[in-house]
Every structure is written in C-alpha cells, then in structure tokens.
Structure 1
Amino acid sequence: MGIAISAADRPVIGIVGLGYVGLPLAVAFGRQLPVVGFDIDARRVAELRAGHDHTLETRDEDLAAAVQLDFADDPAALLPCNTYIVTVPTPIDAHEQPDLEPLRSACTLLTCVLRPGDLVIFESTVYPGTTEEVCVPLLEAGSGLQFNQDFYVGYSPERINPGDHARRLADICKVTSGSTPEVAQVVDALYRRIITAGTWLASSIKVAEAAKVIENIQRDVNIALVNELALIFDRLGIDTLDVLEAAGSKWNFLPFRPGMVGGHCIGVDPYYLLHKSMSVGYHPDLIHTARSVNNRVVAHVAGKVQQLLASRGKAIAGARILVLGATFKEDCPDLRNSRALDLVRRFSSAGAQVTCCDPWADPVLALQQEGVQVVADPSSGHDAIVLAVAHAQYRALSAEQIHAMGHANTVIYDVKSVWPRHLVDERL
C-alpha cells in the first residue's frame, strides 16, 4: 500500500457526469458530504442549479435537500475533491462495438485534478478488464502518478432502473470493489453511507464489472426467448400471452414478456461482453443470437401492421399511422436507442404518414437528437394505431378513447399486450 487513501477519513466527492446515474448519487451523497457534481453540458448544470431535473429521476425537493451539493461545468471546481465517481455513458458505435470515448474523456479530464491519495470509482457499464486495462493507464499517463501507490481505483456498477420510483438508488443493493483489499473496504464503506439495501463486496474489480454486464445480458436472453416464441406462435395462430399465462401457472416459469428491446442498457451492454469474448477467442453464440432475435422484432411488428392494413384494402404507402410512445420504456422520458422510434422510421420509409405521440418525451430533444417529430396528444382519423410504449396514460385509455383516435376500419396493434384483447386486432 502506498500513500494513504484520502477518502478513508474525509471524503470530498466529485461526480463526473450528471445523467440518470450521476445525479441521484450526487444528491444522496450531498445530503451528508461535500459534493461537486460536474457535467460538460453547461445547460444541464444551469438546470440543476435552478433546482430541476428534466429527466424526472430526481425530484426538486430532493435536489433542495442536498445542502452540500454544488454543480459545475468547469473542471477546476473538482480540485478540492479527493474521491471521484465517474458515471458517464458507455454506448456502442455504428458497428455495434463498444464506444469508450466518453469514459476515456472523463479519465483525461481527471488527470488534471488527480493528486496523491485520491480515489477514482467507476460506475459506467463496461466489459471485464476495462477499469484496469483502459482507465488506469490513462490516469497514470496523464497525471504522472503511480497506480496503487499514489492513487487508487474502485468499481461499483450502477443499477438504476430509469422510471422506477419504487426501487430507487438507496433501495438497490450496491456491488462494490477496489484495486486492493484496503481500497475495496473504503469503497464499500463509502457506499454504505447512502445505500440502505446494503452492499455486496466483490472479490475483484473484474468480477464487479462482469456481474453488471451479465445482469442485462440475462434479461436480453430471456426476452429473446419469449420474442422468438412470439414469432413462432404468430405463425401457428396462437396468442402468445395466452401461452405465457398458462405456462406461468407453474411456480418456476419466469414471467418475461415479448417486446421491442431498446434503451441504453439491455440493448447495448451485451455488445460489450461480445467484444471482450471475441478478443480472447470465444464466440458466444447464445448472446449473439439473442441480440439478433430482439433486433428483428421491430421489422416483425411493422410487417404485421402492413398485413393488417392490406387485409382491409389499405396500402402502407399513404396510410395514416399513429404510434403511441417514443421513449425506450414506459413512464420515462429517455429517448436513447428507442425501438419505438425505429418503428416510426420504418413506417415512414414505407411511405406512411406517421404521427408519433408521447406525453413523456421532450419534442425538442426528439427532433434535434432523433430526427423524429413527437406530439403530446393524439389526433383522430388514423388508419392504424400501434401501442408501442405502455405509458400509464395509454394503459388507462378507455375503449371509447382508443376508438376515437381511429375510424370504423382502423387497425389496432398492441405491442405491449396491455389493452383488453377484444379491443385490438393483434398483439405481439
């Protein structure tokens, strides 16, 4: 062990990245410790300084309660800190390869403020080995400090479930790890300050990294199974939900449902382990196949709607189609990697006149970032209505309200199987 870990006695925390992961952390720690919440987006910082979070993951009153939390877009504001928690996105590129540029940029930024005794904890989802093989060399090279002598690292993967207001940060067990046994104890003790559900101290950083990435891979594989079953049962003329409910009468049948798998976790994280696995000479067939199955669901839904329209003498070209939902999941404003938007684009490319409606989505962001126009309230007279995202507002619609959006011959397709069966023509 080298220089003493400053965070062991008096942690002063710098959160790098104030998205749906970083902000709840900053607020939780800011109730009891000095915290600087840093983000490169000046507009985001200004919004939070004004006391509001547009992602709706953090309530205004919770922001106000974090009395020791300051926000900044100037890296110099991080200089008083001795503990840094990195919560930047880890997306994939156009070739479905890990895009570590945000993580690398965060490491480069930290080299300007890193001092002897400092601790850097990473929360971003990565493949096993990233922290020690990618991040640590960048920190060493830029700071001139020696790993595990002058500075230390930990890894504690984020487990936030966007839009879930029942299971918040403090309610979810936190996996922790450190670059030495002593560091691991410091990291674990730090998170125990804010996590009422407890912590799980992993045996190594790589174990913690792997644990996180397989959480979402497991969900991806299970959803892929029911999606493939849905494709089979469609050809057999069997209702998928009927089958799943019957099978679910046995205690050990897992209650997964078919759907369009998007977002920045389940639809992205498997590619990280695929990449790492291929780099060591193993091709993981099951993980790859699951991604392939889930990626074809949008085309299946679009094809079914086109068939239903054709059965009523209406071509897809020129058809007025209403897609209800733009975000990647229900009751959440996040548009990243949304399969509902992919569905909108597919209909549009086929010549349909598409209206995308979503009361949760920011129409300005949807147009600027995704190139899709989104409205809050649906109009009427549509030839097809597709329930793509099961927001609470859509789940609560009455039969009269649903029919008012169409006409006597409207096709109704329920991707999420939440509307009464007699009201829809087909469901996934």
Structure 2
Amino acid sequence: MMNKKFKIGIIGLGYVGLPLSCLFATKYPVVGFDINEERISELNNGKDSTLEVEEDLLQRVLLKGNPFHLRNSEKNFESETPTVAIEQGLYCSSNIEDIQDANIYIVTVPTPVDKYNRPDLTPLYKASATVGQVLKKGDIVVYESTVYPGVTEEECVPVLEKASGLKFNEDFFAGYSPERINPGDKEHTVEKILKVTSGSTPEVGVLIDHLYKSVITAGTHLAPTIKIAEASKVIENSQRDINIAFVNELAKIFNLLDIDTHAVLDAAGTKWNFLPFKPGLVGGHCIGVDPFYLAQKAQDMGYYSELILTARRLNDSMGEFVASQVVKTMIKKGINISKAKVLNLGITFKENCPDVRNTKAVDVIKGLEDYNIEVTTYDPWANPAEVMHEYGVKSDSDIDQVRIASEIEKYDAIVLTVAHNEFLGLDLYEFLKEGGVIYDVKGILKEVDNRL
C-alpha cells in the first residue's frame, strides 16, 4: 500500500480545501470538487475570493483538464501524441465524474452549528454520500472537518458504506487529519503548520501520514486512533475559547473598577509563564463553533460541560457588552443617544480577512441599533452583498463613500471592532464630531482612552 501512486480528490474548495489542494498539486495530480459552480468558475479563471491562496500559486498549479486522464504533452492541448502521465497539478470541477478515478479522497467541508448551537453534520453527510458514489476498492477517505470524537467512524463511514456498497476496513479505509488553517494568516500557511494524522488501521495511518509528510514542511504527528485525532482538534479551539473568556470576564470586572484591562495584561505579561490572551469578540467558524461539538458529545454521554459552555456564553455576550459600554461612554459625554450616528469599523470575524462567517461584529451593530442609533459600517475586506445576505446589514467597502457621507454630517462615535491594517492608517478624527467618542474593541489604537 505504501507504493500507492496517489491521485487525490478534495471535496470542498473553501478556506481549507483550496490551500490544501494547491499544496498537494505541487507534487500530485489533484481534482478539487465543489458543488458551487460560481466558485469553480472563479478558480478556473485563477481567482480566489477568499484571498487564502496567492494568485501566482493558483495560476501555476491550475490545469485545463483532469490530471488523472491528461498526459504532460496534453497540458496545454498542443500535441496529438501524449506520452508521459501528468505528475502534478490541480483541476477544479463541479462534476462528480471528474473525481471518480481518485484513490485518496479528502473531505474539507464546513461543520457549523444550528440556531440552537447543536452540531449540524449535514455538509459532512452530503459530502460522504458524494464520495460514496465513486468509492472503489482500496480507496481511502480522509476527513479534515472539525468534529467531535467518533464522527468519522460512527457517522460518516456508514454513509460511505451505504452509498458505495463496500465494507469499511476491508474494501475501503478512512482517516482523519484536522485542518489548522488560520484565515488571513500569511505566515502560518498550511505547509508550515504541523499536521496531526490518523488512519482506520495502523497501515493506513502510516500511509496517510506519509502522504501529508510529503508536502507539510512543518512535519506531522501520527495519532494512535482517529478518535484521538478528532479529540485533539476540538480541544484546541475549546482551550482558546476558555482562555479568551477569562480575559473577557476580567475586562468586565476591570471596567467596573475603572481600570485599563490592557494595561493590567501588559503588567501581568512580564511574568515568563503568563499567557498573552486579549479580550475581544470571539466569532468565526472555529473558536465560536467547535466547543459546542465537544459539549454536545459530552452531553450525549451523560456529562454536562460547565466550563466549556460557560466560556461560550460569556464570549457570546461580548458584542452586547461592547455596545452598552459605547452607549454609556457617549452618555457621559452628553451625546443625545436617540439622534446619534456611529461609524463601525469592521464586520469580518477577524482582521485582514474577508470571512464574515459567525462574525460577532454584527452583535455590536445590533446592540447599538437597539438604542435607535444609526450605524454605518465600513469594512474594506468584506463583500457588501454577502454581508447583506447573511445579516441584513448594509456595509461599505469604499472609504471614499464613507468620507463623502461624513462631510455632510460627522459621527458621534467611532467603534473599531476589527483590527484591519487599513484602519491604522486612518485619521479617525476626520470622521468624528468634536467631543465624540472613539471606542477601540481590539486595543490597537494609540492614545485612545476608551477600549475594551
């Protein structure tokens, strides 16, 4: 099995799947599959709206046809006498037939929660059913989506068996290698982050580890079992969520004591083993979601998780807390709240990234609007149409439009909710009324008195 010639099909070409596809495509023939035809068209034109992959890399690895069928001399369709098989490259497709000749399938679809914060495995079920339609004897299916321990073997494998008619660990095999993509981070790219791997048998585990090790320069860690690998991922973000919840609670306490939280953290951070967490809004598709997966599994086993869910509730309350602090600060300055205008800077879930999934900046906006405050949102990274579709919030990505509006009437307050680099270069007082409030949620602005 170690001599298997890898032909890789990757299911889902979002923030995780595309960077992984491009990385594998530097060494192997890869077909990236996604049901979103607009996304496929965009990628085949060498563009990535998520901005996770550099344009030159994407265009360098892209092929005009399926690498499982093409030969090197066919790459640009110039020769009628193909001779040598394609060794590497990426072809993007929404046609399931294009992945039927793969022997390694890697699933990278989202794992969200529903409106009650319960794990929603629907994308995983659908992706598994898709792979099951083309699964063959000897194939391996690797899952990268964040899940609670047991999902791969107890939820996904039965779908694969039913759709394929094959038997697990006899006809086909499985593995789990949790994604560690950090959206917007151009330093810790996929190949530079150590990868946890696992397989449904010891031999398959070694093979999967070998596959990832061939492209991950940071190295790999082969976990003993799939469940251990699943558990390792879900506690990564739960741990971070709990640590941020602690400093968020400190921020609430120090606010009552009229103490600068960031100054306290700077002082405490002089000790060598103090963990450098900062207060803020905890959104996105990982930290704000993954702890619910572990908590739900614990509850299924008869254990109610107190710490994990308490941290989640505290972090989810921060948007409303920020809005209330902004309003209190405005009232102290004698600003008429009922007629106030506020400029909100940022609506993505984190800085220098276009991803608006599960952004808690929306909670700040809605919290301010509850006081009948008129809120204008500017974010140079976010797609206004996507923001409107997801949250019903009007946003602007053009600073000139915001500048024109502020010339007519300046803002009573400016709230920095996301630390985009573009905001550091703005003269915020250009947009602010005399005596207005600047509230810095992220604590990145110098000489600003009001911050979380």
TM-score (norm 1): 0.96
Instruction: Note the alpha carbon deviations across 1:76-128, whole angstroms, 9 max, x for none.
Output: 11111111000000000000000100000001111110111110000000000
Q: Distance in 2 between matches of 1:17 and 1:319?
A: 44
Equivalent residues of 2:147, 2:293 under 8 A apart: yes
Equivalent residues of 1:112, 1:142 under 8 A apart: yes
Q: Distance in 2 between matches of 1:53 and 1:193?
A: 25
Q: SS at 1:409's partner residue?
A: strand
Instruction: Note the alpha carbon deviations across 1:294-341, whole angstroms, 9 max, x for none.
Output: 111111110011112222333433310111001000000000000112
Q: SS at 2:138's partner residue?
A: coil
Please show how residues 89-168 of structure 1 align to structure 2 within 5 Å.
89-168=110-189
Q: SS at 1:55's partner residue?
A: coil
Q: Match for residue 60 of structure 1? A: 55
Q: Match for residue 196 of structure 1? A: 217
Q: SS at 2:339's partner residue?
A: coil
Please show how residues 162-181 of structure 1 align to structure 2 within 5 Å.
162-181=183-202
Shift in Å at residue 33 of structure 1?
1.0
Equivalent residues of 2:237, 2:286 under 8 A apart: yes
Q: Note if 1:50 corresponds to 2:41.
A: no
Q: Match for residue 414 of structure 1? A: 440
Q: Distance in 2 between matches of 1:21 and 1:8?
A: 27
Structure 1 ranges of 4+ moved more than 6 A: none
Q: Distance in 1 between matches of 2:319 and 2:190?
A: 32
Q: Match for residue 23 of structure 1? A: 18
Equivalent residues of 2:320, 2:363 under 8 A apart: no
Q: Match for residue 72 of structure 1? A: 93
Equivalent residues of 2:241, 2:288 under 8 A apart: yes
Shift in Å at residue 372 of structure 1?
1.4
Mean Cα displacement is larger for which, 337-346 or 11-20? 337-346
Mean Cα displacement is larger for which, 303-312 or 352-361? 303-312
Residue 335 of structure 2 aligns to which amino acid in structure 1? Answer: K
Shift in Å at residue 74 of structure 1?
1.1
Equivalent residues of 2:22, 2:58 under 8 A apart: yes
Residue 256 of structure 1 aligns to which amino acid in structure 2? Answer: F
Q: Distance in 1 between matches of 2:284 and 2:202?
A: 35
Instruction: Note the alpha carbon deviations across 1:352-394, whole angstroms, 9 max, x for none.
Output: 1110000111112111222211112133200110000001111
Q: SS at 2:110's partner residue?
A: coil
Shift in Å at residue 288 of structure 1?
1.0
Please show how residues 23-422 of structure 1 align to structure 2 within 5 Å.
23-67=18-62, 68-376=89-397, 377=399, 378-379=402-403, 380=406, 381-397=410-426, 401-420=427-446, 422=447
Q: Distance in 2 between matches of 1:343 and 1:415?
A: 10
Residue 409 of structure 1 aligns to which amino acid in structure 2? Answer: G
Q: SS at 2:411's partner residue?
A: coil
Equivalent residues of 1:31, 1:65 under 8 A apart: no
Q: Distance in 2 between matches of 1:347 and 1:123?
A: 38
Q: Match for residue 13 of structure 1? A: 8
Q: SS at 1:310's partner residue?
A: helix
Equivalent residues of 1:319, 1:353 under 8 A apart: yes
Residue 281 of structure 2 aligns to which amino acid in structure 1? Answer: M
Q: Match for residue 427 of structure 1? A: 451
Q: SS at 2:133's partner residue?
A: coil
Q: Distance in 1 between matches of 2:281 and 2:3?
A: 45
Mean Cα displacement is larger for which, 348-357 or 269-278? 348-357
Mean Cα displacement is larger for which, 305-314 or 28-37? 305-314
Residue 60 of structure 2 aligns to which amino acid in structure 1? Answer: A
Shift in Å at residue 402 of structure 1?
1.1
Q: Distance in 2 between matches of 1:169 and 1:393?
A: 25
Q: SS at 1:410's partner residue?
A: strand
Q: Distance in 2 between matches of 1:18 and 1:370?
A: 23
Superposed CA RMSD: 1.1
Equivalent residues of 1:8, 1:186 under 8 A apart: no
Shift in Å at residue 8 of structure 1?
4.7
Identity across aligned pairs (percent)?
A: 52
Equivalent residues of 1:89, 1:102 under 8 A apart: yes
Change (3 A) 1:236 1:61: same
Q: Distance in 1 between matches of 2:370 and 2:97?
A: 47
Equivalent residues of 2:141, 2:173 under 8 A apart: yes
Q: SS at 2:422's partner residue?
A: helix
Shift in Å at residue 66 of structure 1?
1.4
Q: SS at 2:328's partner residue?
A: helix
Q: Distance in 2 between matches of 1:82 and 1:54?
A: 29
Residue 220 of structure 1 aligns to which amino acid in structure 2? Answer: D
Q: Distance in 1 between matches of 2:36 and 2:373?
A: 37
Equivalent residues of 1:411, 1:425 under 8 A apart: no
Equivalent residues of 1:306, 1:315 under 8 A apart: no
TM-score (norm 2): 0.91
Q: SS at 1:335's partner residue?
A: coil
